[in-house]
Amino acid sequence: MRTFVALLLAGSLAACGGSAQPERKGPNVVLVVIDTLRPDHLGFGGYSRETAPFLASLAAEGTVFERAYSTSSWTAPATASIFSGLWPPRHGVLQGFFAHFKDATDGGDGAPRTLSVGALATGSATLPEVFKAQGYRTFALTTNINIGPEIGFDRGFERFERLDNLAGRKVLAHLEAWRPELMAENERPYLLYLHLNDVHSPYHPRKRWYSSEGDERARRMSAYDSEISYLDGVLESLFERLEIGPGTLVAIVSDHGEEFLEHGRWYHGFSLHRELNQVLFLLRAPGLGVPARRVPVNVSLVDLLPTLAELAGLDLDRDQLEARSGRSLAPLLLGAEAGESALAQFALRPIYAHRELLSATGSQETWAVMRGGWKLLLAEGQRKLYDLWRDPAEVQDLSAQEPALARELWRLLEAEMDRGNERAGGTNEVILDRDLLERLSSLGYTD
């Protein structure tokens, strides 16, 4: 799986008159997941305000996938898709472990309660395991309580730390202890995964950017935007301190978005509408030949694993790749002619999303399939069809006007739903002790 890297090498040899160059080690890889970030709240995503000038500078140097979608509207299943390259529920992770709170078993006599949670499938290697097996040093720091060993997110990392809801500036201070190890000369490149929770509620209005004017919705959105601006400054400092330059393969994505009453709710996790389902997907590595480009084709978080693996020049066998839902997006980064051919291949590829909601009466699944400019949403037993190009806000249901198209997308979705029933994940037991309950409560998860 060295197609993209081989083409780049061939080009550089031609530029040098064909002289042989010693084989270099793979690039360092930095993967940043920004929890709850909506791409349409970024200036380069079409927002009226420039909330993230540093991210905008990276976008100007890199490739932005303009129609990138999450596989869920909830952190754990979406991140599991990043790690596994699988659609949910195939990877086995349907909730963050706190979402099973009502299913916890009372230990009796004051003993802590326990619960069983879905965990990442062990049958295939996760993203950090893939990179570690190819000689990478692997580091992870997460500030979201869902991203932890309970679900298997620590697998493959030589160093894994979870600092629940720690603010970005404190994350920078914590990473200072890692800096010598990351910056040291080493034959083994590193993979650094950061999952940053600053944009997640509860929002902390950052005075430098926050405005208290307007109604409640305006104030909430201003607080949300202020968190984006705050985190943007954190990322700029991070890149400076770790000297993350053009030769480092950088991926910055969000796991899901956030609602501000577009469909009657606040926050996230309840539906798969665009404000929750569309995500940031940015690749930046000009030193590796990743171009400055906007790609107007549907892609998914499941594509991140095979894409990073190919861009880093890893050797993955065909069986490893075909067992995953994701596809490498490297062909979309090639020159104009090859890129147009790749766009045509990706144009009608179906993209799926899934969300399972737990309640006192059981669980309820929501599904979506996006193909081209159309989206079929199955929610609360009803199917709705949206034209994403003419109706990006997903207001007008066109299933009655376009019955043939609705049936075609339904057949695709039914087939994926059947495949999704073949879940490969396992379960882990989690003890809900007082400390854990207090941490959950601080994030609003036990209300």
Residue 18 clears pLDDT 70, i.e. is over it: no
**Contact status, residue 43 vs residue 49, Cβ threshold 8 Å:** yes
Output the CA–CA distances (angstroms, integers) from residue 327 to 82, 275, 350, 397, 416, in the order listed.
Answer: 12, 24, 12, 30, 16
What is the CATH number for 172?
3.40.720.10
Which has more confidence, 438 or 44? 44
CA dihedral 259, 265, 268, 273 (to 10 degrees): -70
| Averaged pLDDT, 180-187 | 86
Compare 191 and 117 and report the one with higher pLDDT.
191
pTM, 2 dp: 0.87
User: What gap in Å lies between CA 443 and CA 36, rounded to an integer?
Assistant: 14
pLDDT for 43 equals: 94
Mean pLDDT confidence for 182-202:
90
Structural domains in the chain (count): 1
More confident residue, 435 or 244: 244
Q: Over the chain, what is the mean pLDDT?
A: 84
Percent pLDDT > 70 in the chain is 79
List pLDDT tens digits, range 98-111.
Answer: 554 544 445 555 55
User: What value does the mean pLDDT take over residues 230-237?
Assistant: 95
pLDDT number for residue 319 = 67
Instruction: Say if 107 falls within a structural domain.
Output: no
Look at residue 441 in the predicted model and tell me its pLDDT: 63
In a domain, 438, yes or no: no
Q: Which candidate, 215, 235, 281, places its Cα nearest to that of 51?
A: 235
Position 239 in a domain: yes
Of 116-125, 402-411, 433-442, where does mean pLDDT reach its minimum?
Answer: 433-442
The answer as to whether 57 is a domain residue is yes
Q: Which of these ranges, 178-187, 194-203, 261-270, has the smallest mean pLDDT? A: 261-270
Alpha-carbon distances, residue 71 vs 160, 289, 326, 378, 421 (angstroms):
24, 28, 11, 14, 16
In a domain, residue 20? The reply is no
Residue pLDDT, tens place only, 52-63 = 999 999 999 999
Write down the pLDDT at residue 24.
41
249 has a pLDDT exceeding 50:
yes
* Structural domain for 162, as ranges: 26-86+112-347
Give me the amino acid identity at 35: D
User: Per residue in 309-363, pLDDT tens?
Assistant: 999 999 877 766 777 889 999 999 876 655 677 888 898 899 999 988 765 566 7
Distance CA(336)–CA(338), nearest Å, equals: 6
Is residue 420 a contact partner of residue 87, using CB atoms and an 8 Å limit?
Answer: yes
Q: In whole angstroms, give the CA distance from residue 219 to residue 148.
A: 32
Mean pLDDT of 262-266: 72
Range among 197-206, 304-313, 363-372 with highest mean pLDDT value:
304-313
The residue type of 123 is G
Q: Is residue 418 part of a domain?
A: no
Contact call for residues 328 and 303 (beta carbons, < 8 A)? yes
**pLDDT higher than threshold 90 for residue 126:** yes
Sign of CA dihedral 206, 267, 199, 51: negative
Domain-located, residue 397: no
Residue 276 lies in a domain: yes
Is the torsion defined by CA of 211, 212, 213, 219 positive or negative?
A: positive
Distances (CA, A) of 445 to 151, 270, 439, 442: 17, 14, 9, 8
Element (H, E) at 34: strand 29-34
- On the question of pLDDT at 446 being above 80, the answer is no
Tell me what pLDDT residue 187 has: 82
Half-sphere exposure of 247 (CA within 13 A, CB side): 9
Place of tokens 């500036």: 169
- Low-confidence winner among 29-43, 252-266, 282-296 (lowest mean pLDDT): 252-266
Distance CA(179)–CA(172), nearest Å, equals 10
Indicate if the pLDDT at residue 216 is higher than 80: yes
Q: For residue 139, what pLDDT is reported?
A: 97
**pLDDT for 15:** 36
pLDDT score for 7: 43
